[in-house]
Amino acid sequence: MHGPAAGSPPVLPSGKMVMWALAQVVRGPGSTIAGVEAARGRTCGRGDRTQRIHEDAAVWHGAGKVVERVAGLLNLDRGTVLGGGSILAVDFYQSVMAQISALRAKGCIADWRAGGRLGVFRLADPSRLPVIDPGELRPPSYAEVSPDTSHAGLTKSFLSILGHGSKANTYKFALARAILEYCQGECRGAGRDREEQSALRIPYEYLADKFLKYYWHQEYILHMRQYYDAKHTPHAITKLRGVFGDGTPGDYSLLDKKDTDRARRLILKSVFGHARSKTSIVVPRFQKIPVGNRTVEVRSFYDYDDDEQAIKLKPEAFEFFSKNYALLSKAVLVEWTKFLEPINPTLPRLLTKIERMSAKKQALTKYRSMLAPFTDCCFYCRSMLEPGYVQVDHLIPWTYIYDDNAWNLVLACQSCNCRKSNSLPGDEFRDGLVERNRRHRGEIPPLGASLDMLDRGRGWEAEIHAHYQTCLEYGFGTVNLP
Ligand SMILES: [Zn+2]
C-alpha cells in the first residue's frame, strides 16, 4: 500500500481494510490486564467476575494501542491519522471503533469491564472473525480524487454534495448557504480592496452567526420540524432552546444581545469547535462525495483549520460562488426544502419560508379598504375602530400561512393586533372567521375568490379548520383575547 502523493488530499482506508487489519491485531499477542492498564497510565481496575480468570493471560488489547497497530498494518502516516485533534485522526479513530463494535456485536471479542469502562478486550471466539482475503482489498487511489476545479467540476461536486451527501441533518445546507452569502457579501462590499487572502478566509464565527440566524428563524418563527425523531434534534437547535427557552420576540432584531452572543458561542463550540470537542463535523463532512463505491473527502472548495477557527476558500471556489451566487442559492434552497418537506408535510409554502429569512409582509391597505365597509369594530374585542388606527390581522399567523389570503384577514384594533402577534386566537375566533367568510363571501369578490382557491373538494370550512389545527400542532402558541 502506498501513501498519498504529495499535494493529494489524504484518504481514509475503507471499513473492510480496517477490519482486515483489526483481525490481525486481535489475533496477535496482547498483554495482561495490568500491562494494558499500565500502558494507559492507569492502575488495574477490579474487572468483572466472568473475565477475571483471564486477568493474567497476555490476551488483552487496549483500544488506543489497537488503533496504532491498525494504522501500522495499513501503512498509514502516523502523524496524519494519529495526530491529536485533526479531523482525519478523529475519523480514523471512529472507523476503527466502528469495526471493534462490529466484532463485539458478533460475540467475537469480550470486554474487560471495570467500573463500567470499556476499551480493553480480548479475542473470545476466533471462529467468528471475518475472513478477508487481502487480495480483495483495493488500496485507496489518490489520483481519482484530486479536486477538479474547473467550473464544470465545481458544479458537479457542489450538486453532488447537496443531493447525495450525508442525510443526517440540514447542516450542510446551512453551511452552503452561509458560504454563498459570505462570497456574495465580499464581492459586493468593500471586500474588493482587502487583501485577497483575508477575503478567502471565513472565520467559524461568521458561520456560527449564520447558523444561529437560520435555525432561530426556522425554530422560533416558522416552527419547522428538523427531524422525524426528536432524539435526533440537531445540536444547533438544542443549544438555541437552552438559551431562548419556549418563547422569543417575533423578530431577531428584538432579541437580547446577551442571549444571541451566548447562543452563537454555543453553536460555535458544538458545531465548529475543535475536532474532539465538537458534536458535528459538518466542515470536513461537507466535501465528502461518492467516488466509485466509497465516500471520500475532496477539498474542491476549501481547506480548514480548527486551530485558526476558519475555512480557507480556494480562489477558484470563491470565484465560482461569487459569480453563480443566485443560481447556487436556489439549488441549496431546493435541496434544503426536499430534506425538510417529508418531515413537515403539512406546513404551507415551505420553500418560500426557507428562502425568505426576513420576508417583508406586503402592505395590507387594500384589504383594509376592502373589509372596512362591512365592519366597524375590532374582530377580537368588538371595540369601535377609530379611523387611522385600524389594523389588518392574519387570524392564522402569517408566519404559518406565509401569504395574504382575504379569507384569513380581519380588522383589529392596535391593542389586539399587538397582543396577538404571531399567535393563534382561541377557537371561538376561528369559528367567527368561518362565520364572517360565509356571510360576506358574496359581497366581497376577492374574499369569494380566495375561498374558492382554498376549497379542494371538501369545502373551504374544512380547510380553515385543518390549517388552524396544523398550526397548533406545529407549536404556534395561542393567546387569550381580548
Ligand atoms: Zn381589539
The rounded Å distance from CA 432 to ligand 1 centre is: 14
Contact 175, 267 (CB under 8 A): no
For the record, the C-alpha cell of 275 comes out as 475536532
Rounded to the nearest angstrom, the distance between the alpha carbon of 359 and the centre of ligand 1 is 26
CA of 271 to the centre of ligand 1 (A): 45
CA 447–ligand 1 middle distance (angstroms): 22
Q: How far is the CA of 466 from the centre of ligand 1 (A)?
A: 25
pLDDT for residue 164: 78
**CA of residue 476 to ligand 1 center, whole Å:** 21
Residue (of 71, 63, 51, 67) closest to 113 by Cα position: 51
Q: Domains along the chain?
A: 15-142 (1.10.10), 151-355 (no CATH), 365-479 (no CATH)
Ligand 1 centroid to Cα of residue 250, in Å, is 20
Q: How many angstroms is it from 418 CA to the middle of ligand 1?
A: 9
Q: How far is the CA of 430 from the centre of ligand 1 (A)?
A: 16
pLDDT in the model for residue 379: 97
CB atoms within 5 A of ion ligand 1 belong to 378, 380-381, 413, 416
Distance 263 CA to ligand 1 centre (A): 36
Distance 410 CA to ligand 1 centre (A): 11
User: From start to end of 33-115, where are the E strands?
Assistant: 60-62, 109-111
pLDDT of residue 91: 79
381 C-alpha to ligand 1 centroid (Å)? 4
C-alpha of residue 384 to centroid of ligand 1, in Å: 8
User: In angstroms, what is the span from residue 231 Cα to ligand 1's centroid?
Assistant: 41
Q: How far does the centroid of ligand 1 lie from the alpha carbon of residue 363, in Å?
A: 20
pLDDT of residue 295: 72
Q: Could you give the CA distance from residue 243 to residue 35 in angstroms, rounded to a whole number?
A: 46
Residue with cell 435541496: 335
Distance (angstroms) between ligand 1 centre and the Cα of 362 equals 22
- Residue 202 confidence (pLDDT): 94
Per-residue pLDDT, 36: 83
Q: How far is the CA of 292 from the centre of ligand 1 (A)?
A: 64
pLDDT at 166: 63
**Continuous segment of H or E residues that includes residue 291:** strand 288-291
pLDDT of residue 188: 55
φ/ψ (deg, to 5) at 132: -120, 125
pLDDT at res. 100: 92
Q: Is the pTM of this model over 0.85?
A: no
User: Along the chain (482 residues), what's the average pLDDT of each consecutive run of 10 residues?
Assistant: 46 84 92 82 67 83 90 82 71 87 91 71 91 73 65 91 78 95 73 60 95 93 84 88 84 90 94 75 82 74 90 93 93 94 91 78 86 94 92 94 94 93 93 97 95 94 96 91 84
Contact 152, 320 (CB under 8 A): no
Grid cell 458544479 in the structure block, residue: 155
Q: How far is the CA of 390 from the centre of ligand 1 (A)?
A: 10
Rounded to the nearest angstrom, the distance between the alpha carbon of 378 and the centre of ligand 1 is 5
Distance from Cα 367 to the centre of ligand 1, integer Å: 18
Helix residue spans in 165-256 (DSSP H): 171-188, 196-199, 204-216, 235-244
Ligand 1 centroid–CA 392 distance in Å is: 11
C-alpha dist (Å) from residue 290 to 155, 165, 297? 15, 8, 9
| CA 413–ligand 1 middle distance (angstroms) | 4
Q: How far is the CA of 270 from the centre of ligand 1 (A)?
A: 45
Measured distance CA(116)–CA(138) in Å, rounded: 38
Cα–ligand 1 centroid distance for 186 (angstroms): 47
Q: Looking at residue 245, what DSSP letter applies?
A: T
Q: What is the pLDDT of residue 140?
A: 55
Locate all alpha helices (DSSP H) within 287-426, ordered by sequence: 315-323, 325-340, 350-355, 365-371, 398-401, 414-420
Distance 380 CA to ligand 1 centre (A): 5
Compute, in angstroms, the gap from residue 386 CA to the centroid of ligand 1.
11
Quick one: pLDDT at residue 132? 85
Q: Report the pLDDT value the prediction gives residue 443, as an integer from 0 to 100.
A: 95
- Quote the pLDDT of residue 432: 97
Q: How far is the CA of 420 from the centre of ligand 1 (A)?
A: 10
